C-alpha cells in the first residue's frame, strides 16, 4: 500500500527554517521573561498554599497533645 502523503519523507531544507541564525539553538529555545515570571508566580503561590496547609496540620497536631 502506498503512502497517501508523499511529502512525509521529505526533509525540511535547512536554509528555509524559520528563526534567527545569529543565536544558538539553546538560547533561541529559552522562554521569554513574561512566561518565566508567570510560572514562578504560580509556583510561589502553590508553595505558599502548601506551607499554609502544613502549618495548619502541625498546629492541629500540637493542639491535640
Read off the DSSP letter of residue 9.
G
Quick: pLDDT tens for 1-47: 555 665 555 555 555 555 556 667 777 778 888 989 999 999 999 99
Q: What is the mean pLDDT of residues 55-60?
A: 96
- pTM (predicted TM-score): 0.52
Q: Vertex 54, ends 48 and 60: CA angle to 5°? A: 135
Tell me the three cell numbers of residue 61: 497536631
Amino acid at each position: 500500500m502506498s503512502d497517501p502523503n508523499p511529502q512525509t519523507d521529505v526533509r525540511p531544507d535547512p536554509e528555509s527554517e524559520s528563526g534567527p541564525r545569529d543565536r544558538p539553538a539553546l538560547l533561541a529555545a529559552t522562554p521569554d521573561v513574561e512566561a518565566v515570571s508567570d510560572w514562578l508566580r504560580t509556583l510561589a503561590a502553590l508553595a505558599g498554599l502548601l506551607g499554609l496547609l502544613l502549618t495548619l496540620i502541625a498546629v492541629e497536631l500540637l493542639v491535640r497533645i
